[in-house]
Structure 1
Amino acid sequence: MPTTQRMSIPDVDADAYKAVLGLEKYVHSGSLDEQLLSIVKTRASQINHCAWCLDMHIEEARKAGVEQRKLDLIAAWSEAGALFDGREQAALAFTEQVTLISQDGVTDDVWSAVRGVFDEKETLTLLMAIAAINVWNRMNVTARTDLPAQPATAG
């Protein structure tokens, strides 16, 4: 598949990015820690094949203190045993089902697991984080946004 960038979204209209940045600000103003958020964003970006976002969120995860072994195994988190704690496992299952929502929706089992380890406000923040990364993924994959020469950094 050709990888030539189709469009530079911020060059066409910077307000398109600003609209999604508002959602990001909401997510990062909540109580979810940066390690968890970076793991969730990485998993959604893996599913959506968004190299630009993977580059950014793996770098964010390193800066947040996520160990390399955990980063290496995010795609196989459900087989990684206790490497991922209960909150991370619930968040990753939720991330997968929300990202792939057209397949089976969000099952009651996954919802119950999330609500078992996240309070109502945290659950909403987690949902908004997953929604936001899916928007970013869809924008960058569709536009075929070029990878930066150096790892991307979040704004």
Structure 2
Amino acid sequence: MTTNESNPGTGTTDAYAPEHTPRLAWAQHAPEVYKAMVRLDIAARKGVDPVLLELVKIRSSQLNHCAYCLDMHTKDALAAGESFERIVQLTAWEESKHFYTEKELAAIELTEAVTVLTDGFVPDEVYAKAAAQFEEAELAQLIAAINVINAWNRFAVTCRMVPGHYKAGDHG
């Protein structure tokens, strides 16, 4: 296969192991869904700090084991000025709290709660921490952004999109 960078969501690559073979170029076969997801992503990010947004997308992608989105959002975060150290420490944020602001920690914890939905709900104390750090409109946008990256992760993981060819700023 050859790289198809002009069509996002194809997951094609030059070389890969059989277990990393893309299953479906979902964006090609469901273009209206892809376009709607791009519009939803654009709407959800309004009013959310771009660096914070990338931290949220990286953390969700880590939890969902989405290598494609990890590749994309790590590159975008670095391009936006995020430090390599803070990105690396994100997997152990609870032990690395000194790297993040209280607002970022609240967003990261909320991301984890929404992504994992332990016991089927977002704990009140997690929601309260986020509500204390964000204005209601900003919190609503953050919740939307968390849900959107979870949807992107699920498309990428299900279709086995292959990471490695994304360049910062290439997406919708």
Correspondent of 1:65 among 81, 93, 115: 81
Moved more, 17-26 or 47-56: 17-26
Report the identity percentage: 36
Task: Please give the TM-score of this superposition, normalised by the length of structure 2.
Answer: 0.84
Structure 1 counterpart SS, 2:104: helix
For 2:22, the equivalent position in structure 1 comes to 5
**DSSP 3-state at the match of 1:78:** coil
- Which letter does structure 2 place at the counterpart of 1:12? H
Of 66, 74, 94, the residue aligned with 1:50 is 66
Q: Distance in 1 between matches of 2:97 and 2:128?
A: 20
Match of residue 141 from structure 1: 157
The residue number in structure 1 matching 2:8 is none
Unaligned residue ranges in structure 2 (runs of 5+): 1-17
Q: Partner residue of 1:115?
A: 131
> Could you tell me whether the CA contact under 8 Å between 1:114 and 1:123 is conserved in 2?
yes
Q: Which has the higher helix share?
A: 1
What do residues 71-128 of structure 1 show as CA deviations (whole Å, max 9, x unaligned)? 1101111110321101110000000000011535111110110011101001100000
Runs of 4+ in 1 over 2 A off after TM superposition: 146-154
Aligned equivalent of 1:128, options 134, 140, 144:
144
* Counterpart for residue 154 of structure 1: 171
Structure 2 match to 1:41: 57
Say which of 11, 26, 30 aligns to 2:43: 26
Between 91-100 and 78-87, report the one with greater CA deviation: 78-87
Question: Partners of 2:52 and 2:76 in 1: how far apart?
Answer: 11
* TM-score, length of structure 1 as denominator length: 0.93
Amino acid at match of 1:9: W
Inter-partner Cα distance in structure 2 for 1:131 and 1:98? 8
CA contact (8 A) 1:46 1:75 kept: yes
CA RMSD across the alignment = 1.5
Give, as a single letter, the amino acid of the residue that structure 2 aligns with 1:11.
Q
Aligned-partner residue type, residue 122 of structure 2: V
How far apart are 1:33 and its partner, in Å?
Answer: 1.0
Q: Quote the offset at 1:147 in angstroms.
A: 2.2
